[in-house]
Chains A and B, each alone.
Chain A
């Protein structure tokens, strides 16, 4: 009987293997029955024993001499907390020049009035952003269609640049645009301030046009992407897709579209239950179909990579980065404590601050649960106010029923806003939580690929997380 003490870990059974996962997200694939052997101190496999010791699963000392290193690595895994709120979303307007069938932002007609941010609120929002202690501040302009408000963007950036002469933060700008009417003035502004363009491309024309409610949308988006690339360079233009009901039938065609458009990755993004998308009749069915869509698409992407083309799936890459590297990710949906407020904040066109992008979407259906205060309020009252404190009690999955004992919680996150919107309770009930079902399915699927086809997929996955 070996003498050792256990270190904290959990396990999951996949494809007749036990995957042991420690607090850092490091994992070991072992035969069935290994956990029982560890607990009964009866491991006979010398190599396995050495692996368990060297990877912080068991220790031969009562207080491991490498505990400080373990603690330091754990701190690194939660490094996003040190960064504080770095992503500042400015919802400039609800005005939009498209009619997306699943619009999650409750966009209005292009000619609509009283749904754009005032210059005064933009100034106050930028001033509030600089109260965040983060050394890196990203200003992300959203809508509606934010490029319809170029003067507001210019004002926001110029105000930020002026304040930053004293504050000395690293500023990054992102414009989320449908690329439909990217004017020369807009691109000149992008060039001047190195603004990154994030556009929406749902796949081939027959999917994109249907989703976006206009027959020429695909053509205009591709033209906009090419125009932006010509002025700014390829690396300044990225695209996101949203998986509509229609898209669920075309996983390979959507991936092919992104490859042929010269992108080196795709974010297979599920619909969120906000705005028009909330009217979806059967979310459970959608969720199950999305999981199947996702697996087919990732399988296909792996095949593409095997032919020597670097092309990654972004959601998988975020999870794999947590599995295969010592580092954290800045992706707010998979953070614990949750990314809301801690990593992201939203200054809305209505002059109020919200906990996340989804929170301001809820406000459009008169649910103000995550409204933190006005942009003119004191920073402390907004970021540490009563709403933030209420959320703070339930935003860490380490302390939530259903999550705390989950073996894969280290790769996942708490999502109080989503659970509030879908279950009427910020805390959430995991057995019926669709976000839990989706994340579990994807994480377990990635593990199953590693277990079953490790030699083939791990070199590809390692390239994705570099």
Chain B
């Protein structure tokens, strides 16, 4: 089956993550023309079920990407505050 996805709606990262998870069950070829990505999927038996699952995952990863994008700076600050001082240690101090 063939699936056309507009990259203005779903980003490359989002599509790639979903393709990654489906790649254990299906052979998926990807091609891009303009903003439209075409997925050619081999091995689908129940198209309706496939589409339901595929778009559910796409929507979920889209939301996750939005959260990641909005929180990337605060996440960096958070991890720097939590673990930052390790970077100031020399190798000798770490091994002490």
Q: Would you call B67 and A6 a contact (CB within 8 A)?
A: yes
The distance in angstroms between the C-alpha atoms of A376 and B92, with both chains bound, is 20
**Interface code A409-445, partner B: CB below 8 Å = 1, 0 otherwise?**
0000000000000000000011110000000000000
B1 within 8 A of A: no
Chain A residues near B81: list those with CB within 8 A: 67-68, 71
Could you mark each residue 64-78 of chain B with 1 if its beta carbon is under 8 Å from any beta carbon of chain A, else 0? 101110110011011
| Given known contacts A67-B78, A67-B81, A74-B82, A11 and B23 CB-to-CB distance under 8 angstroms | no
Digitize A24-67: 1 where CB-to-B-CB distance is under 8 Å, 0 elsewhere: 00000000000110010000000000000000000100011001
A312 and B61 CA atoms in complex are apart in Å by 35
**Residues in B neighbouring A36, C-beta threshold 8 A:** 63
Q: A5 CA to B72 CA in the complex, in Å?
A: 12
Contact partner of B24 among A23, A72, A432, CB < 8 A?
A432
Docked-complex contact B82 and A75, CB < 8 angstroms: yes
Q: Say if the beta carbon of B17 comes within 8 Å of chain A.
A: yes
Whether B24 contacts A8 by the Cβ 8 Å rule is no
Q: Are A405 and B61 interface neighbours, CB within 8 A? A: yes
Min CB–CB distance B71 → chain A (angstroms): 4
Interface residues of chain B: helix, strand, loop or mixed (majority)? helix
> Is there contact, CB below 8 Å, between B95 and A380?
yes
Q: B60 an interface residue at 8 Å Cβ cutoff?
A: yes
Asked if residues A10 and B64 are in contact (CB atoms below 8 Å), the reply is yes
Given A7-B71, A8-B71, A431-B23, check contact A39 B82 (CB 8 Å): no
Chain A binding surface SS class: mixed
Taking a contact as CB atoms under 8 Å apart, the answer to whether A405 and B78 are in contact is: no
Query: Which residues of A are found within 8 Å of B67, using beta-carbon distances?
Result: 6, 8-10, 35, 39
Instruction: Report, as a range, how many residues of chain B touch the other chain.
Output: 20 to 34
- CB pair A67–B64 under 8 Å, yes or no, is no
CB distance from A77 to the nearest CB of B (A): 9
Going nearest first, the 8 A-B pairs with the smallest beta carbon separation are A431-B24, A71-B81, A71-B82, A74-B82, A8-B71, A8-B75, A75-B82, A432-B24
> Residues of B with Cβ closer than 8 Å to A?
17, 20-25, 60-61, 63-64, 66-68, 70-71, 74-75, 77-79, 81-83, 91, 95-96
**Known pairs A6-B70, A405-B64 / 19 extra A-B pairs, C-beta < 8 Å:** A5-B70, A8-B71, A9-B67, A10-B64, A11-B63, A39-B66, A64-B74, A67-B78, A71-B81, A71-B82, A72-B82, A74-B79, A78-B83, A379-B95, A384-B95, A405-B61, A430-B21, A431-B20, A431-B21
A residues engaging B (CB < 8 A)?
A: 5-11, 13, 23, 35-36, 39, 59, 63-64, 67-68, 70-72, 74-75, 78, 133, 379-380, 384, 401-402, 405, 407, 429-432
28 A-B contact pairs sorted by A residue (CB < 8 Å): A5-B74, A6-B67, A6-B71, A7-B71, A7-B74, A8-B68, A11-B60, A11-B64, A13-B60, A23-B75, A35-B63, A39-B66, A39-B70, A63-B77, A67-B77, A67-B81, A71-B82, A72-B82, A74-B82, A78-B83, A133-B96, A379-B95, A402-B20, A405-B61, A405-B64, A407-B64, A431-B20, A431-B22
